[in-house]
């Protein structure tokens, strides 16, 4: 049997009031957060709490996640970080290391697969997790009661073959996947190649768009209504 769940995080202002949530269905979900944290911390915490909530079960876990940072951390970068004492190739400490260590421990012995889903495009489970994570962040911002869920309840698995990693399924999604070559040991790899295994954050590319005064005002109004920055609103449309 397989548990299919979405996990998501939200941070207003990033960093700012933040929430995390995992969601299976309306009767099986949970959420929490902090007064001040980053979006990446929310994304990591959502996955961590999902694994903790299902630790007593012997079911496979399919994690639907819109954060490539989380997926890459677990399936690509973590083995190298651990070998280097939780440091990157340049010797600097890994960001969010405490959450990553807790997640590494929670993954031990579990059968799981991560599946990337694009956020904010109407994916039912992802949208449900996002709405709950954002509700927690909003509650912290407003100082109101924090909306939490019932946790994992019985009867929320589906009949599904155990995940099998085949050539058609990216190896990066396997629990045991790690780079074929350790960039720290292969001088032939360039600094750019090495960065594929050591970055904590996605690579950002500047983009300029010209707006009329009216368009600029509408952009800021819609972002304010959603409790996010104009940049986050534009990014959600991609």
Which residues are known catalytic residues? 8-9, 43, 66, 120, 130
115 burial type by CB count under 10 A (0-12 exposed, 13-18 middle, 19+ buried): middle
Residue 30 CA to residue 132 CA, distance in Å, equals 8
Question: How would you classify residue 26: left for phi > 0, otherwise alpha for psi between -120 and 50, otherwise beta?
Answer: alpha
Buried b (16+ CB within 10 A) or exposed e, 51-80: bbbbeeeebbbbbbbbbebbbbbbbbbbbb
Find tokens 């500047």 and name the residue: 206
Q: Phi first, then psi: what are they for 4, rounded to 5°?
A: -110, 120
Q: CB within 8 A of 189, min separation 6: which ones?
A: 181, 183
């Amino acid at each position: 049997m397989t548990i299919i769940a979405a996990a998501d995080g939200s941070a207003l202002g990033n960093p700012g009031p933040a929430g995390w949530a995992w969601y299976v269905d309306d009767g099986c979900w949970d959420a929490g957060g902090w007064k001040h944290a980053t979006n990446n911390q929310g994304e990591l915490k959502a996955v961590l709490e999902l694994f903790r909530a299902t630790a007593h079960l012997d079911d496979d876990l399919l994690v639907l996640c819109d954060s490539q940072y989380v997926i890459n951390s677990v399936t690509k970068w973590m083995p190298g970080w651990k070998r280097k004492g939780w440091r990157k190739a340049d010797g600097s400490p890994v960001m969010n290391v405490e959450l990553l260590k807790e997640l590494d421990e929670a993954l031990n012995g579990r059968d799981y697969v991560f599946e990337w889903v694009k956020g904010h495009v109407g994916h039912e489970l992802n949208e449900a997790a996002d709405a709950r994570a954002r509700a927690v962040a909003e509650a912290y911002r407003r100082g109101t009661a924090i909306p939490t869920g019932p946790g994992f309840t019985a009867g929320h698995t589906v009949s599904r073959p155990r995940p099998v990693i085949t050539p058609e399924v990216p190896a990066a999604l396997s629990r045991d996947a790690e780079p074929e070559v350790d960039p720290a040991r292969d001088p032939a790899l360039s600094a750019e190649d090495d960065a594929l295994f050591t970055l904590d954050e996605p690579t950002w590319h500047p983009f300029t768009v010209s707006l009329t005064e009216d368009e600029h005002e509408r952009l800021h109004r819609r972002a304010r209504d959603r409790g996010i920055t104009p940049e986050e609103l534009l990014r959600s449309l991609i």
